[in-house]
Amino acid sequence: MCGIGGGVCLEGFSQEWLKRLAGVLRHRGPDDEGYFCEGKVGLAHRRLSVIDPQRGNQPMSDEEGRCWIVFNGAIYNYLELRQDLLGLGYRFRTHSDTEVILYAYRHWGKDCLERLNGMFAFVIYDREEGLLFGARDRLGIKPLYYYHDGNLFLFASEIKAILETGVCRARVDKRSLLDYLAFQLYWGERTLFAGIKRVLPGTFFTLKVGERLSFFRGSYWNLEPKKEKKRGEGYYLQRLAFLLQDSVRLRLRADVRLGSHLSGGLDSSLIASFASSLLDRPLETFTGKFSEKDFDESDYAKMVADSLGARFHCIEIGAKDFLNHIENVIYYMDEPQAGPGVFAQYMLSRYISEKVRVVLGGQGGDELFVGYVRYLLMVFEALFSAAIEGQEAAAREFQGILANLKQLRRYRPLVQFQFRDGLFEESSSRYLRLLYRFAGFEDLLNWEFFEGVDYDPREVFEEFFRSIPYSSLVDRMLYFDLKTSLPALLHVEDRTSMAYSLESRVPFLDHRLVEFAFSTPVEIKFCGGELKYLLRRVGENILPLPVLARRDKMGFPVPLNLWLRRELREWFLDLVASEQIWKIGIFQKKKLGALLENLSLYGRNSWAVICLGLWLKRFSVSE
């Protein structure tokens, strides 16, 4: 895993820019740094050595010096691709996956992307063609950002590296701010920094270098409905078990120490189980907990570790850690993120990095195999509405999910909220209602700040949901989350791990598994309305029964509300009273202050205020 940066300037690329870019990215690659600067083009690299530590330094060129690459990530099938390329006559000087990408590009051009199985963001400078070719992996596991003003193009693994060059100021993108307040994520290419964009997952770009810069963006991967031969449940269980095991096998390829997250939930437990079965030594497993008993799920994690004969490591996280580290968390994130769980992940990564250099995780299981309770609630509502309208097929389906509706018992407030009004509206509006976070902010905002911004995030949301090519409601929700909330979660995964030079690998997001999940009929992957039905079946005879059967997994919840009433109260009030948070006038000071004094602003809204306040302060953001 690494940090990359560089770009093109028509007036000549400054080596000072490269040093600044690389300096800010040191945490992503503490083992080595390298530069390429030639005329208008510059490339910079910070390396975290995981594969071929001795000879894999970058920027790396091919044998003729025609192409130069900077690469962040890991190509898991690089050994197989290397054999293919050797058979085609290419010679290799290293055993790194970086060199495999170089020659894959030389031989197949942009079509090389379809052959890569991994997480990646890379940029290649092709001297002969006079262009930059850059790409990002299919799901957006590894980040890549750019700034382009016509005469200058900069790219980097993190936004802060682009800002460090001094070519653009940290200014707030008001549309993205509305996105964040409404959904606590960012739509499309835009970031919260005006003028700085993200390369979207599954896309590539070319930049032709001449008297002017010619920029082109394209897509190389997307999910589309396919007509599949009808098969029984046994086929899908067997195929899922094979793909998951093979994905884990590939992600165990490393020349450094390796471990696995273990939260006590189904997803991470399955990953740890497959990893343990493939290793010839005890697996190192890691979990985090809080002193508050209601937020401690470590007993389940230890149960799994003991069943696997794995080494179990657990760290306790408290309010004092929040005070000591939250400003750094916001700095490494670059942009405010969805919930306080990012802090817990940051602390856990800090601990894990002292033990191993690579860690496996269960990210993606919910979005692929119907894991969120909101999916069940939406199906329940849709079938209920259709049954009332007299649709007999819907009534039969409704009967089929009755046994699993007890999973909603713990979410009564959510069910009550969803059923309060709008019951017969179309599905896009109903899903919007479940995800929309803006209600708590509408009265707190200073709307003069947004004057002239003709933008409603809800319209963008509904338009995108309606455009999704899948016919079933379940697949439309899964697709929507795969394209929106999952990239936000992967952003957190990348930043919290790379803050401590830790490489995080996510086996569920092997593109073969993703394509398999979306080709699996809904009636099989969501059989009888049971969340994660297929994963539970795969876990039978592998995982302890209490872990397999539990339906109360919390995620990684932080007791922020409790802390804000106790240990963090004065700190929170001081933050909101600070000059920087009011400087550009996002909030109405009097209204927000009154809510704080009355202890009425908590949950996600308090987290959003904390994030925005620290972000404005840390990056000296202007309007």
Catalytic residues: 2
First and final C-alpha spacing in the chain: 34
Measured at the CA of 249, the angle between CA 368 and CA 144, to 5 degrees, comes to 60
Residue 280 is classified by DSSP as S
Q: Where are the alpha helices (DSSP H) in 197-333?
A: 233-251, 266-278, 298-308, 319-333
Quick one: tokens of 371?
A: 């894991």
CA distance 485 to 489: 6
Instruction: Give me the phi and psi of 309, to 5 degrees please.
Output: 70, 30
CB atoms within 10 A of CB 401: 18
> Exposed e or buried b for every residue in 132-144, given b needs 16+ CB within 10 A?
bbbbbbbbbbbbb
CA distances from 520 to 5, 371, 482, 513 (A): 39, 15, 16, 11
CB atoms within 10 A of CB 471: 9
Residues 6+ apart with CB under 8 A from 198: 143, 144, 145, 186, 189, 190, 191
Quick one: tokens of 483?
A: 């394209």
Q: Does a cis peptide bond (omega within 30 degrees of 0) precede residue 59?
A: yes
Report CA torsion sign: 245, 250, 256, 259. Answer: negative
> Which residue is it, tokens 């750019």?
146
CB 71 within 8 Å of CB 144: no
Phi and psi based region of residue 84 (left: phi greater than 0; alpha: psi -120 to 50; beta: remaining): alpha
CB 221 within 8 Å of CB 483: no
CA distance 297 to 520: 31
E strand or H helix at 359 = strand 358-360
The secondary structure of the chain in percent helix, strand, coil, rounded to multiples of 5, reads 50, 15, 35
> Which residue is it, tokens 């002969």?
128
The long-range contacts involving 539-546, CB below 8 angstroms and separated by at least 24 positions, are 539/266, 539/269, 539/270, 539/273, 542/270, 542/273, 543/266, 543/269, 543/270, 543/273, 543/304, 543/307, 544/303, 544/304, 544/307, 546/300, 546/303
Quick one: tokens of 486?
A: 């999952």
CB atoms within 10 A of CB 574: 9
Quick one: tokens of 501?
A: 């030079």
Among 380, 444, 436, 448, CA closest to 576: 444
Strand pairing class (67-75; 145-148): unpaired
Residues 6+ apart with CB under 8 A from 25: 3, 4, 5, 44, 46, 156, 157, 158, 161
